Chain A
Amino acid sequence: MTDVLIVVALLLVAGAATAAVLNRDPVRQALVLSFLGLTLALLFTFLQAPDVALSQLAVGSAVTPLMILLTVRKVRRRPGSGGDGADKPAGRER
């Protein structure tokens, strides 16, 4: 029985990891990462590692995605992707 649960959790983790990589949009990726954290926590619980599961839940599915979302918010606050030199600090170009 435990074996079946572990296999299911392993497949979920593998799937979530793949999805997290293939989602190229950082916001969606953050959400998938959060889900990956959940599946990992589930797997660790089945592997009799409650301590690690708790950490993974706190870090992997809360803090890391939160930091990514805050970064995205900072980076995207201004419309346009930049790169035209107008938003670079002056005096750097020759």
Chain B
Amino acid sequence: MDTARLLPLVVAVPLLGAAVLVATGRRLPRLVSDIVGCAFAAATAATALLVLFRAGRPGPGTYPVEWVGGWRRVGIVLVGDPLGAGLAALVSLLVVAVLVYSWRYFEEPPRRHTGSFPALILVFQAGMCGFALTGDLFNAFVFFELMGVVAYALTGFRVEEPKPLQGALAFGVVNSLGGYVTLLGITLLYARTGELGFAQIGRRLDTDGPDGLVLAAFVLVTTGLLVKAAAVPFHFWLPDAHAVAPTPVCMLLSGVMVELGVYGVARVYWTVFSGPGGLSHPDFTRALLVLGVLTALLGAVMCWQQRHLKRLLAFSTVAHTGLFLIGVAVLTPEGISGTALYVLGHAGVKAALFACAGVLLDRYATVDEYELFGRARELPAVGVLFAVGGLALCGLPPFGSGLGKAAAEEAAGHTAGWLPALYVLVSAVTGGAVLRAGLRIFAGVGRRPRDEEEGGPETTGEEEPETRGRLLRIPVPLLAVPAALLAASLALGVIPAVGSAVGRAGALFTDTGGYRRTVLDGHATAAPAHPPPHWQLTGILLGLLSAALAITLATLAVRRPVHTGTAALLAPVRRLQSGHIGDYVAWLIAGTALLTLLTVPGVR
């Protein structure tokens, strides 16, 4: 079959699976419904990989383009360019991993609705794949909302618990509001151009000069996507939701959904706004760079301060999203391909770390760093996985996350010389926080940390286990899945073919004219040649430096547990994370104003 024909199937197959599971789920035993769910997810992954391999073949830069319903230029277009197809494949593979992980893991499913958890995960998969593949702005909004709706429901899945409900509600309100802001922006673009496809809007925008309308459309569309990407100051929902969602869901939320927000910003900018009628490159770089740096710094600082393990990981996702935003902001093919590889590697590592945290949660009914002190000495295998994950998170060579970080920081260094230092610092602090927690929990190193004063701004890690009772023996999937994810992340950095494929993907992604010609005119465009991400001496050294720095930080922290001084200094920052929905909404609107301010000199 023609490769292009497969594109809509990547979305349709999981939806069919979800419908089957809901229709039959109440009669099926749990085992059967889990197998059915895995089968549909795996079929989707196979389809997405097939598209990726056919689209990613070296040679002239053609990639599959499918007008759904056969409505050329009138309907919705799906574009399987290597980056989009690659993300769809990443999503699908991670979903398979998550379904396998939750096979023996998840709590007793709701009676008579056995199939509902895998069904929701499958719809989630469809939404994320659709968002990665679509070439139509409104269709992207639809899939944005689909991802959102499923994610809110999955976050609040454990209704017996107070925290997930609060987190899910903040998540739902803030993300929906972001979606509506995006829709306002889409409407403005439609009013100006009378088109909805990325390529068509871009072409028509470029017939006129930029003005206030284009600026407003950019700010509004980007706001919603940045909410999804959890950029400062739109990020408040993320730690609240990711810390409390069921662990398998966290793996997906932190591993890919947030990164899809960054992808959306990059995709929309390159296809719609990067021409002469859009937003000038320096303005975009300035705006995204400021937000990216703020996000990375705040995420790292907050990550270091956490004792709730899943919340710690959630803030490290915020920090890394900041780094991804910087990689996008520099507007070079190298920045895109480096960031793409970083996202791939990070997805495996972060999902593995969440998986380890899930094991702790189910065995000890807490993910609190202080309470778990030394208790997990009996789980050396988990400890090793956790430590390896922490090192991979700081970009230790030869992990994929390390290669991606090296390539992205080199690309960023061409824009501003101090950016590589930021990459090293942020990845060292987040990785160090993970290692610190690992040292305390799995090795019991250092002094036992005491509870500080009561009533401070703190979320402790007491949680209910997600399995039926506390786990006494660790089932195989709970260890195999994180191990496989870390191995995959390692493979990404070692196999040279990955680097060259990602390099080509980045080059095609940033070729605006080529994208528009491929989508609208069906011309093949030659992929401009750029050096793919590969290991260089500076990258290796900086990766080793991050890891060494992280280890030093972790060791120092366990030796001298309490830094009352720094804690007091950072208390106002921590207090901003108040858990109050009104605060988060106010910050969202303020963030829109900030984004306007950062881009406004672009209007001539």
Contacts and interface: CB of A to CB of B under 8 A. Distances in A.
A and B touch in the complex (CB under 8 A): yes
Contacts of A92: 162
B160 interface: yes
B160 A89 contact: yes
Interface in B448-483: 462
A24 interface: no
Interface in A43-94: 88-89, 92, 94
Contacts of B462: 94
The majority secondary structure among interface residues of chain A is loop
Please indicate which of the listed interface residues A88, A89, A92, A94 has the most CB atoms of chain B within 10 Å of its own CB.
A92
Interface of A: 88-89, 92, 94
A93 B162 CA distance: 12
A37 B160 CA distance: 35
Interface string B156-176: 000010100000000000000
A34 to B, nearest CB: 21
Interface residues on B, range: under 10
User: What DSSP secondary structure best describes chain B's contact surface?
Assistant: mixed
Interface of B: 160, 162, 462
Nearest to B460: A94
B156 to A, nearest CB: 15
A19 to B, nearest CB: 20
A88 B160 CA distance: 11
A1 B162 CA distance: 55
Contacts of A94: 462
Contacts of B160: 89
4 contacts: A88-B162, A89-B160, A92-B162, A94-B462
Nearest to A88: B162
A94 B160 CA distance: 17
Contacts of A88: 162
A94 B451 CA distance: 13
A92 B160 CA distance: 11
A89 B165 CA distance: 14
A56 to B, nearest CB: 16
B266 to A, nearest CB: 33
B51 to A, nearest CB: 35
A36 B462 CA distance: 44
Contacts of B162: 88, 92
A88 B165 CA distance: 14
B236 to A, nearest CB: 22
Contacts of A89: 160
A88 B162 CA distance: 9
B7 to A, nearest CB: 29
Nearest to B162: A92
B201 to A, nearest CB: 23
A68 B166 CA distance: 19
A92 B365 CA distance: 12
A38 B462 CA distance: 48
B158 to A, nearest CB: 13
A72 B148 CA distance: 25
A89 B160 CA distance: 9
A94 B462 CA distance: 9
Nearest to A92: B162
B159 to A, nearest CB: 11
Nearest to A94: B462
A61 B129 CA distance: 34
Minimum-distance CB pairs A-B, first 4: A92-B162, A94-B462, A89-B160, A88-B162
A94 B162 CA distance: 14
B163 to A, nearest CB: 10
B362 to A, nearest CB: 18
Nearest to A91: B464
A92 B163 CA distance: 11
B452 to A, nearest CB: 15
A61 to B, nearest CB: 20
A92 B162 CA distance: 9
B366 to A, nearest CB: 11
A1 to B, nearest CB: 25
A69 to B, nearest CB: 19
A59 B160 CA distance: 30
Nearest to B464: A92
A8 B539 CA distance: 65
A88 B462 CA distance: 16
A49 B507 CA distance: 44
A60 to B, nearest CB: 15
A89 B162 CA distance: 10
B465 to A, nearest CB: 13
B191 to A, nearest CB: 14
A83 to B, nearest CB: 12
B177 to A, nearest CB: 14
A89 B462 CA distance: 15
A21 to B, nearest CB: 13
B122 to A, nearest CB: 26
A66 B288 CA distance: 43
Nearest to B462: A94
A92 to B, nearest CB: 7
